[in-house]
Structure 1
Amino acid sequence: MTRLQQNGHRIVVGVDFGTTYTGVSWVTTVSQQTIQEIDIINEWGGSGATGSYNWKVPTVIAYQNENSPWSPRGDKWGFQVKPEMVSWAWMKLLLDQDQAKRHYDDTLPEVKQHPHKSPEQIVTDFLSHVYKFLIGTLERRMTPSVVQQLPIEFWFTTPAIWSDQANHATRRAARAAGFGSRPGDRIFMIQEPEAAAVAVLKDLTVHGTNVIVKPGDGILICDCGGGTVDLITYKVTQTYPTLQFEELVVGSGGKCGSTYVDRRFLAWMSETFGPAFDGLRDRLKCPGSKMMQEFESHKRAFSSDNCEHFELGLSMHDVPDSPSYDASENTVKIEW
């Protein structure tokens, strides 16, 4: 046993496996690091890694056998996936299919499934790339020898509204992907709102500072994600020496995250343009396609102060007469 192991040191990794994006952070117990010193992976690589969102990687995978000649060197994932590729996304939503629908759940048909792979298998395939990238990052930052000596705790966030079946499926997929596979490594699960509460409240309860949050205060967490929305209320019971809180009432929420807006947009396109849109190849309209990337940019910029229209480039044939499409410019026009 090495000195690091004798002292009980370890690496703690947080994995925010999201419907649309996935983030990974890590910290070691070798030094007394604060929450500001936690390392976040923000260089994921891939030709699509541009802009201000590189601290998370797109939760998407494209298989080589479905994309030749675009993917001649194996499967692509995250920022490696190009708009013209056949890809699979939003698979996280399919891990919780057996649970009864809630009042605010998306009422549209289920996300398209792979004809030969289960949602759990696709999640495993995606997470295996995340795991390999994470280990490579740790070895570059800490040397392979140190990483080999230290056990790793993996903390996966899951929606508060998820069923036990969905949590078990996430754990199985993570382990099959390599997480927790080394001797001494372990996998833990934490609810997304609880993780958010710890992250937000940590800076507000530092001993010796101008404390904003104190024992007895109530905190409402609204976690709006890509696939789900969670609402939970906590009561702060202690701020020093460690932050502690308890759930005041049972949380609520639904499968109505930002992908709900995307799916409504796709439904509107189908209703408006019919076969002209429905007949397009999947790679032209699937998550990660050029059209959906443009829509994502407009969605992020949307506010009540914005102009009342935007345009998307998309070539369609035999489009019925519609004020929402300019055939001469191959442009979809959306107004509100």
Structure 2
Amino acid sequence: MNPSKDSSGREYAYVIGIDFGTTFSGCCFGFIENETVDGYQDITAWPRQRFVAYPKTPTVSLYKNGSRDIAAWGDAAKGLADKPNFRDHLLEKFKLYLDEESAATMPPLPNGLMPVQVIADYLRSIHTYISETMDRGFAKNYDQSQYRYCLTVPATWTIQAKAVMREASILAGLLERTDPIDRLALISEPEAAALYCQKTCGLFQLTTGQRFMICDAGGGTVDLVVFEIENRVQDTPDYSLKEVTRGSGDTCGSVFLDKNMEALIRERFSHWEGVIRSRAMDAMLISFVEHIKSHFFEDDDDEYYINIPSSLGYPNSEDPDYGIHDGTIVFTFEEIRDKVFEPVVTRVLNLIQRQLDSSGSNSVDAIFMVGGFGMSTYLQHRVKETFVPRVRFVSSPPRPEMAVVRGAVYFGMNPHLVTQRVSRRTYGLDAKLPFNSLHDPQTHRIDVRGKSYCRDRFSVYVNKGDAIGVDESVTKDIITVYPNDFSIGKGSWKIVNGDSIG
């Protein structure tokens, strides 16, 4: 794929990467004629931004009660939800509706909304702001039709989930339904991060034949894949990569720390007969996120504190039996570690363990931690403690929270740096295969021109776990037969390892 042209020959000027995350979303864009990462531009300023130091915007949307039209998004939506007597709908973590396991535990969307519409509304809003930002710079010289897009998705998403994401992108106006399919590329989050991290191989003294793991720990999901470094690409500082393990992941991102913290707070007030209203709980969880979650284990603190909001209505500012002093809940280091962090961190460690085991006898030299949760000092400590020296080192690239979205742009610029992927599923075709009396039921036996076949058999093209070269075709010759058993010729079906092999 030529980054400046699609399959129809249409010319593009910019690649836009969008990391649509569970809790935060980010964007980076690059001018195609300047392919270096140094030339990429991160969007770090967002409307009504609360945390100026963090370069992403909340994946949050607000809908008025009874309305299907988005009223606000990002920090602006959060600001409106903070107003007294809020009665509308603040939607968060709606990306999880596309994860089969998580969707079963998610509440129904309000106002008759569907996941594809909510995602499309958010993408339309963020895309409008991205376009306005780009128009304030050199990109104003180009029309939006000259933008090509790369959106990142979890490694564990099904083809159905990716199809919903593509449909949402069309509904959001990123592209037209009639556009060539390769105007929008969907790339797995760990693969995008790997493309960004491969540029640091020299810095970490990694070279051809060595392997590294990407651990992309975000707000909702943690995705992992192991890559092997191939040869340096001629006339560039880049290395090509091949995927050597089947990508895996789980819904064990940082939002589950918040859930554990909420449970711990409720446990602390279990003796109280009052009701913990959502506004009071939100205030305490914001305090946790801002003052404990992001800095846990950085200092030698023995205790952590959360102010009790007046909206809670708790009657005592002093209640030593329940760890309440001067209107503040006091938590020990051990409580936060064992009840909030460890249940989530242990799941991440198990994922890493399985990925290392699946690499077989080939050692993995490095683990790169990326994503917002990947920046956690405590998570990095536990990964190093558990897996070094089995792996040589655990580290993060520069700006690990932007690794995925920068890698998405890099993929748009250099789509052939990944030369091999490992199939996450088995693909095949419903076919009639030669009858095997040992395994096939007689009820499925049919005779065609003197030969016995079994109907409704599965003819496998690619097995789960097979390594397939990018753009490699898997072909089979088949005989097409009409109901009158008359053979009408030969055909060839093929599966190409591209966007559809997930």
TM range (shorter): 0.7 to 0.9
Q: Which residue of 1 aligns with 2:227?
A: 234
Which of 23, 27, 31 pairs up with 1:24?
Answer: 27
- Kept in 2, the 8 Å contact 1:224–1:230? The answer is yes
Change (3 A) 1:141 1:198: same
Please list every run of 5 or more consecutive structure 2 residues that lacks an aligned counterpart in the other structure.
84-88, 334-502
Matched, 1:212 2:211: no
Q: Which residue of 2 aligns with 1:104?
A: none
Q: Superposed, which structure 2 residues align to 1:1-336 within 5 Å?
A: 8-29=11-32, 31-46=33-48, 48-53=49-54, 55-65=55-65, 75-80=71-76, 81-82=78-79, 84=82, 87-97=90-100, 110-116=105-111, 117-142=113-138, 144-148=140-144, 151-181=146-176, 186-204=183-201, 212-241=205-234, 243-274=239-270, 279-285=275-281, 289-297=282-290, 298-303=292-297, 305-313=299-307, 314-315=309-310, 316-317=312-313, 323-326=322-325, 329=327, 331-336=328-333
Q: What is the CA–CA distance in structure 1 between the aligned matches of 2:273 and 2:240, rounded to whole Å?
A: 52
Q: Which amino acid aligns with 1:282?
A: S
Q: What is the CA–CA distance in structure 2 between the aligned matches of 1:45 and 1:306, rounded to whole Å?
A: 36
The number of residues matched between the two structures is: 307
Q: Which amino acid aligns with 1:84?
A: D
Question: For 1:284-331, what per-residue CA distance to the aligned partner results, in whole angstroms no more than 9, with x for missing partners?
Answer: 43xxx43332211210010064312222233323579651445x62x3
Q: What is the CA–CA distance in structure 2 between the aligned matches of 1:235 and 1:66, rounded to whole Å?
A: 52
Q: What is the CA–CA distance in structure 2 between the aligned matches of 1:277 and 1:161, rounded to whole Å?
A: 43
Q: Which amino acid aligns with 2:22?
A: T
- Kept in 2, the 8 Å contact 1:113–1:119? The answer is no
How far did 1:238 drift?
2.3
Q: What is the CA–CA distance in structure 1 between the aligned matches of 2:153 and 2:273, rounded to whole Å?
A: 35
Q: Which residue of 2 aligns with 1:105?
A: none
- Kept in 1, the 8 Å contact 2:12–2:148? The answer is no
SS in structure 1 opposite 2:294? helix
Change (3 A) 1:99 1:274: closer
- Kept in 1, the 8 Å contact 2:261–2:285? The answer is no
SS in structure 2 opposite 1:110? coil
Q: Which amino acid aligns with 2:306?
A: L
SS in structure 2 opposite 1:40? strand
Q: What is the CA–CA distance in structure 1 between the aligned matches of 2:248 and 2:168, rounded to whole Å?
A: 26
Instruction: Tell me the percent identity.
Output: 28
Change (3 A) 1:23 1:197: same
- Kept in 2, the 8 Å contact 1:270–1:277? The answer is no
**TM-score (norm: length of structure 2):** 0.55
How far did 1:21 drift?
0.9
Q: What is the CA–CA distance in structure 1 between the aligned matches of 2:136 and 2:123, rounded to whole Å?
A: 20
* Larger gyration radius, structure 1 or structure 2: 2
Change (3 A) 1:281 1:122: farther
Q: What is the CA–CA distance in structure 1 between the aligned matches of 2:273 and 2:173, rounded to whole Å?
A: 40
Q: Which residue of 2 aligns with 1:70?
A: none
How far did 1:112 drift?
4.1
Q: Which amino acid aligns with 2:172?
A: A
Q: What is the CA–CA distance in structure 2 between the aligned matches of 1:183 and 1:41, rounded to whole Å?
A: 29
Q: Report the RMSD for the aligned CA atoms in angstroms.
A: 3.2
Question: For 1:80-132, what per-residue CA distance to the aligned partner results, in whole angstroms no more than 9, with x for missing partners?
Answer: 122615522111122112589xxxxxxxx934443332333322222221111
**TM-score (norm: length of structure 1):** 0.79
| 4+ residue runs over 4 A deviation | 4-7, 182-185, 274-278, 318-322
